Structure 1
Amino acid sequence: MPLVFAGVCSHAPGITGRSDQADPDVRDRFYAAFDQMRVDLEASKPDAIVVIAAEHFANFFMNNMPSFALGMADSYDGPIEDPGWLGIDKHQVPGNRDLSHRFIEQVMHTSDVSYAEEWKFDHGIMVPLHFLTPRYDTPVIPVNINCQGPPLSPLHRSWTFGESLRAACDALPERIAIVGTGGISHWPATPDSGKINVEWDLDFMDRWCRNDRAALLDYDDLTVYADAGQGGFEIRTFISVAAAAAGATGTVHFCEPIPIFAVSCTIASYNISASGI
């Protein structure tokens, strides 16, 4: 079954944990964009959602840091963070071990990946699910791309990984949606925490919407680190979604800085049906 939905969104913990401190007008428009993304996702009637995130040392550490990993379990617990801090209650999120197993087998034909039968979800997955699956009733296949601990995989490998995800979607009978989550520019846990490079974010999203492979891969980590912070390494999740939706063009539904959330809060999706893919 071809891919039925492809989109990206921010996952900063402040989006839920500090919602009361944000400018109400901007916050509410951002939440409205999240709600519309939920409506569009639900309309695609997915049997499972592949959520590509940058896991923040909640499960994988420098003693065991896969470049690409997928979950293979019937359920996952989250958030790993304190619910009072994150603003999201503890949940058991459904998975689908059989579907995940078959999906991973297909991905392995063209990308080398790890898998995990146990996975604690942190804000990178739980914040998007809070908005996109508020009833927590859609099976999730979690995906981690190492965006935290160098050496990081080259960007072209994230593109290839996205193509592998797409090939897996095409090979299976189930309807699969893909959601990538990340910053974009941000400097978490540094003296520059709260800094946002809006111009850089908008330029990146322009490249993403055009699904311009050459432009998306025309970054190096040293420049990204200087211009977008170490949080900017999370463009890998967005790039994988672009590769999975190759042939489609995208629309940015919201991309504005919300300083208390410490990112340019972003919602965007690819027009899968119009592209015929």
Structure 2
Amino acid sequence: MSALLQCLSHTPLIGHVDPAQEVLDEVDAVIAKARARIAAFQPELVVLFAPDHYNGFFYDVMPSFCLGMAAHAIGDFGTLAGPLSVPKALAEACAADVLRAGVDAAVSYRMQVDHGFAQPLEQLLGGLDRCPVIPVFINSVAVPLPDFQRARLLGEAIGRFARSLDQRVLFLGSGGLSHQPPVPELAKVDARMTDRLMGSGRHLPQDEREARQQRVIAAARRFVADPHSLHPLNPEWDQQFLDLLTEGRLAQLDSLGNAELSALAGNSTHEVKTWVAAFAALTAFGPYHASERYYRPIPEWIAGFGALAAHPAP
């Protein structure tokens, strides 16, 4: 029984709107070191906390949390497509434990995921199916949103389940930090987009999906030229958030409301709840030691881009 944690920002803009080569090399080195640590750990199970961007979860049914009993990636923005290697019986047992712990989480036997799940599996493990993985969706864009406390309690429940296993468990958190890409909001869109958000966007025609991706790419280019074209990045808040995780002060985030977080760091900053859930899961193994901290605001990727690792303290 042992555990390792890696949190990492994701971005669909890699290869589409990139920063200077020296920044790319810096990020690549961070990812390579994380990949090497994970390879040395040899995980037997991965628990991946990640969001969605209206590619798999819609307002026809929008859970705060959902555990995948089976899942496949759609391959948006050039990320890998195909099935994830989900151990169904183990995922079912995890979901049952989470409910017994008092956390209401949905389950899906047909979970559809996007780059938020696929990118960390590709970058850190080398593929979608290299290791058994339980995918855990945390709603980070569709109001009403779960708060930090609920995300923490979810992580703690999953961590206790993982601790009961005689396995090497890797916790991954994918997303954040401060950012606000052009994600549609139900209250502000026309009838056609409303229909997409209600569920018809689950199976977009290829030309429409490509047009959607090009809108994000164009928004990134505008943001580089004009940092006020979108909600600005907030490096100060990002560093404070990393401080709280590094020092194990997760519960201090409980008092930060969703509206306040959006105002501080952007509507999509709620993806950091995947990091909180992952760190909360690790606390089930006792006090932890955080390391390999990385942070850089990267406007080309519309992201305060970060990474942080941790393992149980000796």
The two structures have a TM-score, normalised by structure 2, of 0.79
Contact residue 75 and residue 82 of structure 2 kept, 8 A: no
Distance 2:178 2:159 in 1: 26
Distance 1:36 1:194 in 2: 31
**Which of 172, 195, 206 is 2:165 aligned to?**
172
Distance 1:26 1:145 in 2: 29
| Deviation, structure 1 residue 100 | 1.4
Contact residue 186 and residue 231 of structure 1 kept, 8 A: yes
SS of alignment partner, residue 232 of structure 1? helix
Q: Does 1:103 align with 2:94?
A: yes
**Which of 244, 257, 264 is 1:220 aligned to?**
257
Match of residue 250 from structure 1 = 290
- More displaced, 236-245 or 210-219? 210-219
Distance 1:125 1:267 in 2: 16
Instruction: Name the Cα RMSD after superposition.
Output: 1.9
Higher-Rg member (1/2): 2
Contact residue 149 and residue 253 of structure 2 kept, 8 A: no
Contact residue 231 and residue 265 of structure 2 kept, 8 A: no
Distance 1:66 1:209 in 2: 29
Letter in 2 for 1:129: L
Q: Does 1:88 align with 2:57?
A: no
| Deviation, structure 1 residue 58 | 1.7
Contact residue 194 and residue 262 of structure 1 kept, 8 A: no
Consecutive unaligned residues in structure 1, runs of 5 or more: none
| Deviation, structure 1 residue 77 | 2.7
Distance 1:174 1:92 in 2: 23
Q: Does 1:210 align with 2:247?
A: yes
Structure 1 runs of 4+ off > 4 angstroms?
none
- Higher-helix-fraction structure: 2
Q: Percent identity?
A: 27
Contact residue 208 and residue 216 of structure 1 kept, 8 A: no
The two structures have a TM-score, normalised by structure 1, of 0.89
Trace 1:1-277 onto structure 2 (pairs within 5 A).
1-2=1-2, 4-14=3-13, 16-18=14-16, 21-73=18-70, 76-81=71-76, 86-110=77-101, 111-136=103-128, 137-189=130-182, 192-193=229-230, 195-246=232-283, 247-272=287-312, 275-276=313-314
Number of residue equivalences = 265
